[in-house]
Amino acid sequence: MENDNSSIRFVVTDLSNNTITILEHVDTTFVCTASGNWSCYNPSGEFTTDRQYTVALSNLILTKLTINGNSTTSAIGFPTWVLQDPSLLATSQTAPYRWCFPTSGDTYCSYSEVQASVSTTQLVLKGISEKVYVLTYNGPVLGAFKTNQGIYSAGNGTELQQYDSTYGIWIGAAYHHGAKLIGSDGSWSEAYVESDHFKDSSLTFSAPSTITSSTMSPSSTTSPFSSSGNPLGNIPGFPIESIILGVALAFIFLTLRRSNTHHRRKSP
């Protein structure tokens, strides 16, 4: 059983007419307990992870990703989970979503673009009751552990991602994954549960009634993430026209709290 608690901060570090670069800084503490033949590599500890996403504003596709300063091609060319187009969510029953499907005998997973269902709920963000879009997808997953032969446990997972209706930024999530493996070199079942909650932001949110029909029009040829009419341009102290490419902005726009539990047990 491992319990993790993380504080997640998102900072816009660069913005041009074509891309936005966002730093995700995560501080995590964990506690692990085990019994029987199981053991924890560390019973407790803490670590920090920095991921920097560069996203095309025209279609919100991830174009560059670095993890702790190291570039990776993982998930490049697929939709980012950090941002969604709120005008498209307002007029669609599904939205593009990235999913990693188990392949090759459960030895790894490969990213594909899928369509997640879109629903709505209400959340209070900085004192404003705002409509929130919820993306939900259910599909096959790999577990977190593998045998010495490199075979992972496998199962099914459901993910729910929340996005505010003013900017389309990610403000929370819930993950429920279950997996098992039964074999001569290892047998176990495991469950992964995670819940992410909005804490604070330097953004100003709006009640649904302040969003005009022209802003939400599906027939508009101007993306809300383009340089003209960009909702990010309405961020206080962050006007689009004043940004010079190459200048680091260090603008904190979102902080969340993450709590997850990873439970692994032997199969009968």
172: left (phi over 0), alpha (psi -120 to 50) or beta: left
Express each pLDDT in 151-160 by its tens digit.
999 999 999 9
The answer to whether the predicted template modeling score (pTM) of the entire model surpasses 0.75 is yes
Q: CA-to-CA distance for 175 and 223, rounded, in angstroms? A: 30
Question: What is the separation of C-alpha 117 from the centre of its chain, rounded to a whole number of angstroms?
Answer: 16
**Residues forming beta bridges with residue 101, ordered by sequence position:** 110
CB of 132 within 8 A of CB of 121? yes
Instruction: Give, for 215, the enclosing helix (H) or strand (E).
Output: helix 213-216
Instruction: Give, for 136, the enclosing helix (H) or strand (E).
Output: strand 128-146
The answer on pLDDT for 247 being more than 90 is no
Task: Please give the tally of structural domains in the chain.
Answer: 1
CB of 30 within 8 A of CB of 48? no
Nearest 10 degrees: Cα torsion 87, 91, 96, 97: 80
Express each pLDDT in 211-239 by its tens digit.
433 333 333 333 333 333 333 433 333 33
Average pLDDT over residues 143-169: 94
Amino acid at 188: W
For residue 178 the two structure tokens come to 């279950």
Q: CA-to-CA distance for 140 and 180, rounded, in angstroms? A: 12
**Residues forming beta bridges with residue 228, ordered by sequence position:** none
Average pLDDT over residues 165-186: 91
Full domain range(s) for residue 29:
2-265
Q: CA-to-CA distance for 29 and 250, rounded, in angstroms? A: 25
Q: CA-to-CA distance for 233 and 248, rounded, in angstroms? A: 16
The answer on pLDDT for 208 being more than 90 is no
Better pLDDT: 146 or 256: 146
The confidence score (pLDDT) of residue 176 equals: 97
Q: CA-to-CA distance for 246 and 153, rounded, in angstroms? A: 44
Question: What is the separation of C-alpha 41 from the centre of its chain, rounded to a whole number of angstroms?
Answer: 27
CB of 20 within 8 A of CB of 57? yes
CB of 23 within 8 A of CB of 45? no
CB of 78 within 8 A of CB of 113? yes
DSSP per-residue letters across 51-103: EEEEEETTT-BEEEEEETTEEE-TTTTSB-SSB--HHHHTT-SEEEEEEEEEE
For residue 25 the two structure tokens come to 């800084």
Better pLDDT: 126 or 255: 126
